[in-house]
Chain A
Amino acid sequence: MRLIIDKSGPFTHAPVSVQRIMATVILALVPATLFNIGLFGWPALFLFVVTVGSCVAVEAACLMLAKRPVKPVLTDNSAILTGWLYAMSLPPWAPWWTGTLGAVFAIALAKHVFGGLGQNVFNPAMVARVALLVSFPVQMTLFVAPHPIFGAGSPGFVESLAITFGPGATDAVSAASALGYVKNELARGIPVADTLKQLSREALDPGLRHLPDLMDLAIGFKAGSLGETSALLVLLGGLFILARGIISWHIPVAVLGSLFLFGTVFHAIDPTRYAPGYFHILSGAAILGAFFIATDYVTSPVSKSGQLVFGAGIGALTWLIRTYAGYPEGMAFAVLLMNALAPIIDQHFKPRAFGRTRKGDPLPIAKGEP
């Protein structure tokens, strides 16, 4: 019996795969996604399907153009996940082309131009979101109040087709997302605290008004993108992938911790100007960003210390942008900025090698009790 020897060991392998990792992350997103599609009705479903489908199609097209085998890459589920995350960052009643155009940005420009899976510097879903936000600020910030899928007053199937695929029909029903609302009100001279008190009631379906503010934010009966309106379900999904060992706690805890810290400290200094820490964490896509977007493997540091620095940076930048810059939702920008720094962080925050000091010199021999 002769055997080929083409590699050294090990000759056993953990039952893991890229496909399986991606699929597990997608699974973790399913509850929040279903809830939100239910909350925002048919248009949300149409947009979601168009976005994910576009990402897969663009991925296939890019592979064909590059003359690379399509099937093994397409089945790694990464394009689906990118599309999914991007879809969750869109206003649910945005027109279909925001999904398709975003797919081109995410998959073709942010991913394949850099060399495909594993090579990209920037988080593809966030590249798409920011590109679209900057180019089409109106469509990308036109949030609607919840319109449960079979609720009274919600658009029916055909009507919904018109919303998603027709020429911009959403003006009448627009409502600001919580963050945008606070910002607008502040601009009008209304203190943050007062805005917070009535927040979400403004945007709510009358029947749901008995819920307290904080719970609204957490559970998600409020205007916003698919991923930002149900912090609790997103958090559950995040804890699921944490428990499955797909992500570690470092990035989410660092992101949310620093965001909370900045919010709390400044709120204590001047509650009329700054929103409290819990508000920052429960609103916008903070939880989605912390668990699902900042933790994107390819664009985050590989070492635990590096991940803490990276996450803390995202939290801090998110707070800065939300508080001072023109865009109420700062997470996407913050993630992209820290993505750019990730390679440098990787260079400087390595684990300490066995038998060496942090600087890399051999440890001195400790004399005494072994």
Chain B
Amino acid sequence: MTKVTMVVNGKSVSAETEGRTLLSGYLREGLGLTGTHVGCDTSQCGACVVHVNGKAVKSCTIFAQDVAGAEVRTIEGMANADGSLGVVQQAFQDHHGLQCGFCTPGMVMSSAALLAENPKPTEAEVRHYLEGNICRCTGYHNIVKAVLAASGQDIAAIPAE
């Protein structure tokens, strides 16, 4: 076991880890940040997406030790300083972009990363970017709509109901 230190949601944290501990396990078991979910064992579902040094990463695909010292942001760190929902989070609530909530942390983190790279994505770009995130509940309609809304684009043309 070694102590691995990194900056998570703006705070320096550390936890004892084995060499084989994944970043997802470090966050969930080591730090108790259970907002990051694990939905598969083949790096396919995206429920575990977090930001590492600003980039969207599937936290089940990297070892915690390999990102020692990095800046990590998780779903727990996405709200505004006053505790209100951040822009992407708020858009997901406003447009019913979640149902059971299990894929949601990964969806929000991926969407936020997309908008950081591409502030005004097209519908096709949103769908393409989210291809690594599976949602079984929403049929994606309201997720795509929420991301377009979060980008500040006019969504009036999208079927409302």
Is chain B a partner of chain A in the same complex?
A: no
> B-contacting residues of A (Cβ < 8 Å)?
none
Which B residues form the contact surface with A (CB < 8 A)? Answer: none
